[in-house]
């Protein structure tokens, strides 16, 4: 069967390719998203002291190291069986919110905005961040400033913006200083202005992307996210909850190692990325989605004033849950707004400058599990240690793995909508890439990105003859 290969997929975090199989009539028969890099972190940490895990795990990725640092520290807290000081928990939450802000800003402004601002069919020579800079300089400046804000918070609290070492098992290594708090607070009004402006602009554009809304991984699926007693947006504390596409709860109060009863992981022959599924339904029927879309679908309120206003409007998009993955972009902007507002509230909490920020203990459990909502979705770290506190086994379930089945399903859906055989057009292939971009998959790439990525797509007919080719 003829195959179109998009290799690599551009403007995502990592190295991946897409293959689209077409039949003799030029109709799409199948499509797959393949991750072509291997990292092996679960294996290489075996034998290391568990106390090293947060710093080691943060090296998985240069985009969201803080998320791994936090999930890992929570797993270590569990091994030590400690309840960390309240101030430390609040400081960790601020770090998580800053991580969400900077990562979402990167996804929206740097990676995806060329598609929205310049159009899916624009010349690829123009459809990039410099095209945005030329045509919409204020939007580009705002994007840079917003990401800078998130990174500055990470740097101010963690000492460095990438791989900060401030978060440790038991809490954080040192308290927040008043002048650092005030520096962050001073930047909040501008960060909110930028986010609100981006939201206003994006909402005005949705009408221009009706075809993408209809076909970008727009299907019923379950959703997974953290939940809590208040049913407010929860990114740090709580338990795991699965809901169906009508938002009925199908599994709830999942904590600790209990996740193994609900989340299965399947290996694929053609990808280094595992496919995660809802175990009670099996691999075939157990697809679910995580991340901003899941979180906004599942929470009853954001818990902050401006984000709640936006959430109410977001809910009006569809009658029940919002199912089109094109709206991940929209959800990301609302989450940025929520994160800034929540950060503001936490920084105004008098306890935030408290000096008791770390609990100390030796291992009290042989196993520890840490959950967290990372920018792209639910992140799970699970460690087992031996009598000497050395790691016997580690399991990390990452957001992009949770979304893998849905990404593949979405790639097939969009390929069927836009790819018509015989003649390839840049716009249609860009849409196949763009549905992957909507999920903002992170493939842990930061240390080996290649810069100007080549794209070579060949359309080969049933006889093996190349009948069309696109290169950039």
- Name the residues that contact other proteins, by CB under 8 A: 10-11, 13, 59, 62-63, 106, 110-111, 125, 128-130, 133-134, 137, 140-141, 144-145, 147-148, 151, 161-163, 446-447, 449-453
- Least distance between other proteins and beta carbon 134 (Å): 7
- Least distance between other proteins and beta carbon 161 (Å): 8
Nearest to other proteins of 388, 447 (CB atom): 447
- Least distance between other proteins and beta carbon 215 (Å): 25
- Least distance between other proteins and beta carbon 323 (Å): 28
Nearest to other proteins of 44, 247 (CB atom): 44
Question: CA-CA distance, 302 to 339, in Å (whole number)?
Answer: 10
Nearest to other proteins of 3, 148 (CB atom): 148
Nearest to other proteins of 12, 224 (CB atom): 12
- Least distance between other proteins and beta carbon 447 (Å): 5
Nearest to other proteins of 121, 252 (CB atom): 121
Nearest to other proteins of 10, 325 (CB atom): 10
- Least distance between other proteins and beta carbon 59 (Å): 7
- Least distance between other proteins and beta carbon 383 (Å): 22
Nearest to other proteins of 148, 395 (CB atom): 148
């Amino acid at each position: 069967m003829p195959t179109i290969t998009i290799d690599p997929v551009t403007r995502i975090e990592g190295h991946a390719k897409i293959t689209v199989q077409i039949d003799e009539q030029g109709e799409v028969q199948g499509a797959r998203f393949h991750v072509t890099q291997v990292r092996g972190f679960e294996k290489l940490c075996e034998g290391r002291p568990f106390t090293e895990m947060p710093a080691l795990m943060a090296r998985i990725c240069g985009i969201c190291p803080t998320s791994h640092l936090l999930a890992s520290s929570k797993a270590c807290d569990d091994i030590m069986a400690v309840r960390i000081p309240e101030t430390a928990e609040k400081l960790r939450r601020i770090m998580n919110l800053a991580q969400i802000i900077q990562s979402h800003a990167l996804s929206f402004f740097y990676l995806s905005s060329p598609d929205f601002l310049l159009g899916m069919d624009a010349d690829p020579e123009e459809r990039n961040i410099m095209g945005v800079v030329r045509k919409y300089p204020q939007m580009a400046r705002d994007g840079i400033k917003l990401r800078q804000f998130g990174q500055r918070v990470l740097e101010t609290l963690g000492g460095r913006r990438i791989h900060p070492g401030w978060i440790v098992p038991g809490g954080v290594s040192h308290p927040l200083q008043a002048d650092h708090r005030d520096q962050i607070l001073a930047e909040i009004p501008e960060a909110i202005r930028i986010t609100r402006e981006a939201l206003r602009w994006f909402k005005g554009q949705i009408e221009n992307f009706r075809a993408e809304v209809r076909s970008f991984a727009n299907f019923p699926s379950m959703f997974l996210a953290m939940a809590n007693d208040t049913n407010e947006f929860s990114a740090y504390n709580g338990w795991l909850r699965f809901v169906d596409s009508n938002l009925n709860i199908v599994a709830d109060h999942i904590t600790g190692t209990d996740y193994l009863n609900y989340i299965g992981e399947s290996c694929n022959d053609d990808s280094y990325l595992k496919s995660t599924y809802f175990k009670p339904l099996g691999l075939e029927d157990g697809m679910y989605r995580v991340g901003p879309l899941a979180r906004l679908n599942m929470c009853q309120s954001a818990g902050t004033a401006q984000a709640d206003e936006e959430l109410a409007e977001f809910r009006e998009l569809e009658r029940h849950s919002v199912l089109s993955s094109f709206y991940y972009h929209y959800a990301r902007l609302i989450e940025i707004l929520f994160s800034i507002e929540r950060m503001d509230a936490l920084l105004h909490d008098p306890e935030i400058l408290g000096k008791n920020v770390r609990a100390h203990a030796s291992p009290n459990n042989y196993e520890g599990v840490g959950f967290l909502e990372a920018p792209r979705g639910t992140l799970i770290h699970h460690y087992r240690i031996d009598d000497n506190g050395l790691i016997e086994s580690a399991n990390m379930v990452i957001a992009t793995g949770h979304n893998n089945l849905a990404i593949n399903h979405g790639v097939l859906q969009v390929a069927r909508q836009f790819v018509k055989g015989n003649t390839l057009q840049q716009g249609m292939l860009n849409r196949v890439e763009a549905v992957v971009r909507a999920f903002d998959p992170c493939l842990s790439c930061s240390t080996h990105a290649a810069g100007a990525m080549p794209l070579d797509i060949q359309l080969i007919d049933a006889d093996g003859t190349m009948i069309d080719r696109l290169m950039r």
